[in-house]
Amino acid sequence: MEELREILTGGQSFSWKDEGDCFSAVLNEKVYKVRCAEDFNADPFLHEYFDYGFDYDEARKIIASKDEILASAVRQFPQLRILRQDPWIALISFILSQNNNIKRITGLYNKLCEAYGHEVEKGYFSFPTPSELGRTSIAELKELRVGFRDRYIMDAIEKSYILDEIKTLAYEEAEAKLMTIKGIGKKVASCVLLFGFHRFEAFPVDVWIRKVLAKYYPGKSLDYFEPYPALCQQYLFSYARNLSLE
């Protein structure tokens, strides 16, 4: 299970729970329980979700050859990959992520599931669709303690159609379209594009990435991380977070 921990619970998805003997998530109207990477290969939906179609071995070789920091990150997280998540789930998840930590984001995610999703199996709730979440109000979101993010969630519900519109847009246009939703800036937009649309040109810059760039890559353009900027970003994020980089 340890090979999956950073992938499933390290900050790119908030759908997965550590149940001790497995990781579980409600996705695609089904409860999935996995213990190792091979479990993702055994199910057609999980095969796509786990991005088995991408050559991560080749990408890791190129990333590790760039410098010792990335090489160290690849050694530390040899199975790291980018999950192919549902765009709607990614949108609300990363609105919740603003000025927040992984534990609290996951808690808020689960509260939304239990309050507005539907029970797929006893004790396992789906993430609410736009229409299901549309039953909420600012007052109810305040009761769930989502904080200042309540008005952002309400605007995202009203503008959920944007997710269909940006599928065919160039990256900059898609980013700008997402940023028409209240509270979404470049960081959240880039997270939604990366984790919800698999846009590998994304390079979200949060507090951890800002620290690692300042410490190890001062003055370098993000072009340095081509041809796999998104995967480099995820490696640097995990590397910095697990080192508690100052």
Q: Is the model's pLDDT at 246 over the cut of 80?
A: no
Tell me the pLDDT band of 27, cut-offs 50, 70 and 90.
very high
Give a yes or no: residue 170 inside a domain.
yes
Q: Is the model's pLDDT at 125 over the cut of 50?
A: yes
Give a yes or no: residue 131 inside a domain.
yes
CB atoms within 10 A of CB 175: 20
Six token digits for residue 74: 């690849």
* Stretch 115-134: mean pLDDT: 96
Give a yes or no: residue 152 inside a domain.
yes
Give a yes or no: residue 101 inside a domain.
yes
Give a yes or no: residue 93 inside a domain.
yes
Q: Are residues 92 and 18 in the same domain?
A: no
Residue range(s) defining the domain that contains residue 121: 87-197
Q: Is the model's pLDDT at 150 over the cut of 80?
A: yes
- Total structural domains within the chain: 2
Tell me the pLDDT band of 244, cut-offs 50, 70 and 90.
low
Q: Are residues 109 and 175 in the same domain?
A: yes
Q: Is the model's pLDDT at 187 over the cut of 80?
A: yes
Q: Is the dihedral of CA 10, 13, 14, 20 positive or negative?
A: negative
Please choose, from the candidates 172, 42, 18, 153, the residue with its C-alpha nearest in 3D space to the C-alpha of residue 7: 18
In angstroms, the CA 65 to CA 71 distance is 7
- Whole-number pLDDT of residue 241: 81
Average per-residue pLDDT for the chain: 94
